[in-house]
Structure 1
Amino acid sequence: MSPEDGESWYELHVELESLIVVQPNEGFDEYRDNDLRRYTGPISIVSGEPEQAVEIGEIELWYMDGSRACETDLDIVDVCDSLGQEEYEYAASIFSNGVLDSSIVEEPISDDVLVLHSIAIRPEYRGKGYGLRVTRKIVETLGYRCGAVLLKPAPLQFSAREADKEWMSRMGMSAFSTDRETAIRKLTDYWNVLDLRLTKDPSIYCIAYF
């Protein structure tokens, strides 16, 4: 059941999960989960009486706890560099000397950063504004205490998930442009409704107002 079936009332639900790994030796825990946390989960439409939920997509968020890293004498860019290339690129795009770059974000309320790493909507639910509505709500809630919110218009048809043929088919990725530059331009135009601001990395943007 969905709004397209004639339902006048519906809600969008996002269920987020996070994995926290506890190492047997505390010495191994220095960079794990403390300063960068990942949240993933499905996006669903809930409607009808009784309520029924239909999964329409999925989302992945990263929370960079730059404030905590700073308080423990760590540079969040170094922390992210130890975790992976994508993590490093996000952090390096907006942090300088362990704090948010003031030339990008003036007087941030904290040095925490919410990263909208990926969001995918199933083909039959696209064009209805669900992705943007979910994004705005996520920013309002999880991004409330953050000094910045980042996103990278990276078409998922060119991501590591390209190898997952079942996922690519289910999410209708064949409907998107096969030209990388065209796909990036279209995705950037889509997200620009959030008033994107350039960072130190030309492929990563900061949401100007949230």
Structure 2
Amino acid sequence: MTTTAPGPGRVRDDTWMWALVGLALGLFSLGFVVRWRCSVGRCALGGNEWLFDLDAVGGLPRLFTTSLFVAATVCAVRVAARSAGRRALWWAAVAAVGVGLVFAKLASAHSVLERVDGAGLTLAVGSLASVVGLPVLGWLGRAWRVPGSRDVVLALAVYALAALGLDRVTGLVAGLDPGPLPVAAATFVEELGEALAALAVLVVVRRLPQR
């Protein structure tokens, strides 16, 4: 994916971003249909429904979100390599966050935590990491005068809010009405929201170094 940096008389090409938005809408909508239809016993995919399921480990929707974090991590690594001193260290920290998000999404870390000690542990761990880690990252970005650090931290905060908040909403919906349609709809909103928030992280990290 490449984006032309805007300059005098030039217009930034955001085609790749809108193409990914369209792909996300199509892929997660298909995942919603698969989740719903297979939940009511009308699945015709011959045991391969996991490939399109909204939150299945190894499924296309989860891999889509993971790939966005991979791309954002690669961008952060490239910026760190071109930077020097504390700015390079700051971007290396952003890359480390990206690696953590990649592995968390691949392994469905929040589901593992919920199996260990319920949804409360997931919320506590995620909230602690966000409330402590992101402000520290933002403070270092300001102190070390890293261009665009505020935007990067804000994008990561939006993703954290989407991942933690929408997960709780899905849990509440499942508790109030565990029917196939409400649960499928809530999961669709949760996973699509995470994907779009991850795309926002990629967009911010991809654009900032070119300013």
**What TM-score, normalized by structure 2, do the two folds share?**
0.25
Q: Which has the higher helix share?
A: 2
Q: Which has the higher strand share?
A: 1
Structure with larger RCO (C-alpha < 8 A, sep 6+):
2
